[in-house]
Structure 1
Amino acid sequence: MGLYERWCESTKEKDKRKHYWTYVEKDGGRDEISDDLAETIRSHYDRLERIAEDVKRLGFEVASEILSTAMPQTPKGRSGDLGEILATELVEEEIGLRVPVRRLRYKDGRNMAMRGDDFIGAGYDAAGEKLWLLKGEAKSNKALGRTTVTSARKVLNRDSGRCTPDSLLFVANRLLESNTPADNELGRSLRDEVGLKSLSADRIDHMLFTVSGNGPHASLKEDLDATGANRDHYVVNIHVEDHQDFIAAMFLEAEDLGDD
Structure 2
Amino acid sequence: MGLLEDWCDKEGTKDDRKRYLTFVEKEDGREAIRDTLAETMRSHYDRLDRIADDVARLGYDGAAEILRTVLPTSAKARSGELGEIIATELVEEEIGFRVPVRRLRYKDGREMALRGDDFIGVGYDPDEKLWLLKGEAKSNKVLGKTTITKAREALCRHDGRCTPDSLLFVANRLLESDDENDVELGRTIRDGIGTKAIRKSRVDHMLFTMSGNVPPAALKADLDAASNDRNHHVVNLHIEDHQEFIAQMYKEVQKLGDA
* Counterpart-to-counterpart distance in 2, 1:161 and 1:172: 19
Contact (CA 8 Å) 1:123, 1:186: kept in 2 or not? Answer: no
Does residue 79 of structure 2 align to residue 89 of structure 1?
no
Partner of residue 119, structure 1: 119
Measured after TM superposition, the shift of residue 201 of structure 1 is 2.4
* Alpha-carbon distance in structure 2 between the residues aligned to 1:126 and 1:53: 41
Structure 1 residue 163: Cα displacement? 0.2
Structure 1 segments unaligned to the other structure (5+ residues): none
SS at match of 1:140: strand
Q: What does 1:181-260 correspond to in 2, within 5 Å?
A: 181-259=180-258
Give aligned pairs, total. 259
Three-state SS of the structure 2 residue aligned to 1:148 is helix
Q: Residue in 2 aligned with 1:161?
A: 160
1:200 Cα deviation after fit: 2.2
- State the shift of 1:105 in Å: 0.3
How much identity, in percent, do the aligned residues show? Answer: 67
Following TM superposition, by how much is the alpha carbon of 1:198 offset from its aligned partner in structure 2, in angstroms? 1.4
- Counterpart amino acid of 2:28? G
| CA distance in 2 between partners of 1:121 and 1:62 (Å) | 34
Q: Which deviations, in whole Å up to 9, do the C-alpha atoms of 1:33-89 show, x marking residues without a partner?
A: 000000000000000000000000001011001001111011001000001000000
Q: Deviations over 1:99-135 (max 9, x none)?
A: 00000000010111100000000021134x1001000
Distance in 1, Cα, partners of 2:142 & 2:112: 22
- Paired with 1:151 and 1:74, the residues of 2 have a C-alpha distance of 22
User: More displaced, 237-246 or 183-192?
Assistant: 183-192
1:95 Cα offset (Å): 1.6
Q: Report the equivalent of 2:130.
A: 131
3-state SS of 1:158 partner: helix
TM-score with structure 1 length normalisation? 0.98
The answer to whether structure 1 residue 16 and structure 2 residue 16 are counterparts is yes
Return the TM-score normalized by structure 2.
0.98
The DSSP-based 3-state class of the residue aligned with 2:120 is strand
Q: Report the secondary structure of 2:69's partner residue.
A: helix
Give distance in 1, aligned partners of 2:47 and 2:41.
11
Question: The residue matched to 2:230 in structure 1 has which SS?
Answer: coil
Structure 2 gap segments, 5+ residues each: none
SS in 2 for 1:59: helix
Q: What is the one-letter code of the residue matched to 2:224?
A: D
Compute the displacement of 1:94 (Å): 0.7
The amino acid of 2:168's aligned partner reads L
How far is the alpha carbon of 1:96 from its aligned partner? 1.8
Match of 1:4 in 2: 4
Q: Deviations over 1:186-223 (max 9, x none)?
A: 10111112222212222100000000000211110010
CA distance in 1, matches of 2:239, 2:147: 17
Match of residue 174 from structure 1: 173
SS in 2 for 1:144: coil
Please give the residue correspondences for 1:44-83 in structure 2 after superposition, counting only pairs within 5 Å.
Answer: 44-83=44-83
> What is the deviation of 1:259?
1.2
Provide the C-alpha distance between the structure 1 equivalents of 2:8 and 2:176, rounded to a whole number of angstroms: 36
